[in-house]
Amino acid sequence: MTTSALATEAAAAKTVKVTDRTLIVELRDGRVVSVPLSWYPRLAAGSGTERRRWELVGAGLGIHWPGLDEDISVQGLLDGHRSGESRESLNRWRASRRRPANNRMQPSARRKVKRRG
């Protein structure tokens, strides 16, 4: 019996779609991976606009959502890994989203100093 030795390449994402319930990733080799959105709480909490703003990382080995600070590896999807983020980290992230960004960035009030002389 003979077996063929195939060169294996790492699975890489081609396109990404996020619905209200599902993360769907089409791979370059034609496979489609679909997982429940509930596996990734940051994606689940994101707006439609934030979910649509994704970028491929490392030639498609990972997917990054800048507005959500979320990164998911294609291999992790294939292996069935859910988000490993701790509850504490997720709660801090949620709290940071509730604070208006402009309140965090306002310069402190400066008192005018009268110079003598």
* Cα dihedral 59, 61, 62, 63 sign: positive
Nearest to 75, CA basis, from 7, 9, 22: 9
* Cα dihedral 52, 54, 59, 61 sign: negative
Query: Full-prediction pTM beyond 0.85?
Result: no
What confidence score (pLDDT) does residue 108 get? 45
**Domain parsing of the chain, residue ranges:** 13-83
Instruction: Return the amino acid letter for 105.
Output: M
For 82, list phi and psi in degrees, rounded to 5.
Answer: -85, 175
pLDDT in tens, 52-88: 999 999 999 999 999 999 999 999 999 999 999 999 9
User: Is the CATH number 3.30.2020.40 carried by domain 13-83?
Assistant: yes
Share of the chain above pLDDT 90, in %: 74
* Band (9; pLDDT cuts 50, 70, 90): confident
Helices (H), the chain: 41-45, 48-52, 74-79, 87-98, 101-105
Q: Is the pLDDT of residue 40 over 50?
A: yes
